Amino acid sequence: MNAWGTPHCQCVKIPARWFSTIVATFTGCPAIHFDSPDGLAMLDGLIGINRAFKGIFIMAKLTVRDLNVHGKRVFLRVDYNVPLEEKDGQMVITDETRIKETLPTLRLLIEQGGRLILAAHLGRPKGKREPSMSLRPVAGRLAELLGCNVNFADDCIGEKVEQLANALPAGGVLLLENVRYYSEEETNDPVFAEQLAKLADIYVNDAFGAAHRAHASTEGVARLVARRGGQCAAGLLMERELKFLGDELEQPARPFVVILGGAKVSDKIKVIDRLLEKADSILVGGAMAYTFRLAQGFKTGKSLVEADKTDTARAALAKAQAKKVQFLLPVDDVVAVPVKTDKLDKKGKPVMEWQNPRASSDLNCPDDAAGLDIGPATVKAYSDVIARAKTILWNGPMGLFENKQFAAGTNAVAKAVAEATQQNGAKSIIGGGDSVKALNKAGLGGQVTFMSTGGGASLEFLEGAVLPGVAALSDK
Ligand code: ATP
């Protein structure tokens, strides 16, 4: 039971092939330590049962298409966590992608005569009214994009807000102030959630990027609305996320090629473990490749590695071999010598200058250098595998792509994924965050099948974790 008095597990349909895993588990799976070398393989049974009871990929949830919202107050959780910059004393939105992505859901609900109450968070105000994190600028831009009036409430709970919500006409829109101005949002406080729920007849969640958090506006309100017999549905954006990250990967067309990069093995190990069950090939890049190198006994110089995760890396390699999954690591790199400068970045960390950048096919990195991108031979090998794929899942950049000197590998992979999609009809699914940034930067965003809007949420979903914001929605 959780703090809300509801059980953690949900009753769901279980695919036949998981059933055998569950049976195997019940008939005696030894207790094991996750980081032990055979841990990954032996954990399968336990993870299988865990996933099955959480019902990942298979729960059909109610969507906005199933609702009759006419005249009803629809509490719509959206992801308006947009980047803002101060210009001439005013906060200006520098990237409105997240606002635009909600428009189809909003238009549908407006057309059907719903009375829309939009809730969102912006930044991390930590329970305080931080003016630079107000959602007011979003209301203005949203009104322009929708071509209709958008009311703004300078709070998200309380009598005044309730009056504004109750006064909304059919098709009217009200945006609430940042829910994270209250610390109770993140603690999923039942009293706070109850105050939000006073604004709702129906609950809709279109904020996939926030669905991995059990917060009041993502989970608590939904539970309360459902408890009173109200419907809780996925928005169109959320529906697409569940379709592509869930259903499409459940039965992927083969070959199914997974490309994983980014900084840390520890962030991706659960995804690797899960995808080793499904993928035909896994291609590894980014800094995490160096933890695998270290695990294989090579020198990694000043590369970003997680020295305490070499057992985990070895276990993944062993599982790949056992499952006959092609598991490719870089065969060459772009390396450079890091030199600290006097400058500090936004986070106060010293800015690095990278000297003598060069391609190197020596798997032992020089002591004074770091591996910062995959090299040309790796690009070729990975591109060839990608060109034969029918389903592609990509999560994480191949190198320090923010720096032009080390972006070639990520850009080449982006190009290969786009080409496989356009020329061979492969279905390409991009797992969010930095890979999406890299694709957009390369102007290839429109040439893949689906780009997830949720960074952490997509990763957790791919791991097979239950997303509280999804679990709280009504089943069909
Ligand atoms: P995605 O957002 O696509 O899911 P991610 O954000 O999960 O990917 P992270 O694990 O957060 O990926 O890592 C991304 C960061 O890793 C980027 O800032 C990138 O510069 C950095 N990175 C990748 N390769 C290297 C490398 N070889 N050395 C240092 N940093 C690297």
Read off the pLDDT of residues 223-238 as tens digits, 9 standing for 90 and up. 999 999 999 999 999 9
- What's the average model confidence in pLDDT over 9-36? 33
For 135, the 3-state DSSP assignment is: coil
**How much is the mean pLDDT over the chain?**
88
Catalytic-labelled residue, pool 198, 264, 323, 415: 264
Compute the distance from residue 399 Cα to the ligand 1 centre, in Å: 7
Over residues 59-114, the pLDDT tens digits come to: 689 999 999 999 999 999 999 999 899 998 899 998 888 999 999 999 999 999 99
**What is the DSSP track for 320-339?**
HHHTT-EEE--S-EEEEEEE
What's the rounded mean pLDDT across residues 295-310? Answer: 97
| Measured distance between the N- and C-terminal CA atoms of the chain, rounded to whole angstroms | 24
pLDDT by residue (tens digit) across 163-215? Answer: 999 999 999 999 999 999 999 999 999 999 999 999 999 999 999 999 999 99
pLDDT at 466: 87
The DSSP annotation for 284-320 comes to E-STHHHHHHHHTT---TTS---GGGHHHHHHHHHHH
| 373 Cα–ligand 1 center, Å | 11
**How much is the pLDDT for 355?**
97
pLDDT at 28 over 80: no
Beta-carbon contacts of 402 under 8 Å, excluding residues fewer than 6 positions away, are none
Position 464 pLDDT exceeds 70: yes
pLDDT at residue 406 is higher than 50: yes
Q: Please state which of the ranges 128-137, 245-254, 278-287 shows the lowest mean pLDDT.
A: 245-254
Q: What is the pLDDT of residues 358-396, one digit of tens each?
A: 999 999 999 999 999 999 999 999 999 999 999 999 999
Q: How far is the CA of 263 from the centre of ligand 1 (A)?
A: 4
Q: How do residues 273-286 score in pLDDT, each as one tens digit? A: 999 999 999 999 99
Bridge partners of residue 450, in order along the sequence? 429
433 is catalytic: yes
The DSSP call for residue 132 is G
Q: Is 456 a catalytic residue?
A: yes
Mean pLDDT, range 33-47, rounded to an integer: 34
